[in-house]
Amino acid sequence: MALQLDSAMVKTGAVKGIRITLELAKIVVPTTILVALLRGSGVLESMSVACAPLMKLFGLSGDAAIVLISGYFVNLYAATASILALGLAPREIAVLAIMLGFAHSLLVEVVVSRRAGSPVSVILPLRVGVSLLSGMIFGRLM
């Protein structure tokens, strides 16, 4: 039961990690620039006002809509990048973390699920449904 550990494993892992980090940079940097541009141009504010009634269901500010959208459609790296760019309150970050835990990277992951034998018609409503429901519950509780 002794753990096997050698430098080759550490090296392989580190190389993978660096490769993924470079991939992430391609998502994270454009996301934060986009959020900064949206904010600078005033578009973020109008989006925020438009989304505010919906986001209120989850006890979130209108701004948080962009975090949900980037998480659902892109991935959690884009979502966390938006969180950093928006500077949200810890309570909002916690609610978003719960909601996005259930549903994220949907375009990619639903395809993986389908190939693993679960139809999109089951998995997509399940994930989005549980995500929205958890938002309504925890948005009120927290």
- Residue among 12, 43, 46, 56 that touches other proteins (CB under 8 A): 12
Residues 29-88 that bind other proteins (CB under 8 A): 29-37, 39-40, 76-77, 80-81, 83-85
User: Of 6-14, 42-50, 53-61, which segment contacts other proteins by CB under 8 A?
Assistant: 6-14
Residue 3 burial (C-beta neighbours within 10 Å; 0-12, 13-18, 19+) = exposed
Whole-angstrom Cα Rg for the chain:
18
User: Of 43-51, 56-64, 125-133, which segment contacts other proteins by CB under 8 A?
Assistant: 125-133
Cα separation of the two ends of the chain: 42
Smaller CB distance to other proteins: residue 65 or 104? 104
Site pattern 80..119 for other proteins (x: CB under 8 A): xx-xxx----x--xx-xxx-xxx-xx--xx--xx-xxxx-
Q: How many CB atoms within 10 Å of residue 18?
A: 10
CA distance 87 to 62: 13
